[in-house]
């Protein structure tokens, strides 16, 4: 199944643009919209959810994982 990417609503249309595809089973695919044929990052839905939860945390700090 080909990933169906959508641009993040927080992306800057002129600079930093991230696209996310969540239509594949058990995988969230992430890529740079300026390099659609470049490398992609694949994570589990649980990892993506944890990442988004951390970004939206009221502290605004991203924990360092060793």
Extents of the domains making up the chain: 6-55
* φ/ψ (deg, to 5) at 13: -65, -20
Whether pLDDT at 47 is above 80: yes
Q: 20, 28 in Cβ contact below 8 A?
A: yes
Q: E strands along the chain, which residues? A: 6-7, 18-24, 27-32, 41-43
- 11-30: per-residue pLDDT in tens? 666 777 888 898 888 999 99
> pLDDT at position 7, please?
83
């Amino acid at each position: 199944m080909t990933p169906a990417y959508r641009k993040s609503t927080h992306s800057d249309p002129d600079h930093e643009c991230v696209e996310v595809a969540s239509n594949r089973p058990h995988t969230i695919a992430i890529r740079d919209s300026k390099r659609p044929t470049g490398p992609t990052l694949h994570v589990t839905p649980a990892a993506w959810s944890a990442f988004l939860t951390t970004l939206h945390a009221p502290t605004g700090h991203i924990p360092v994982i060793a």
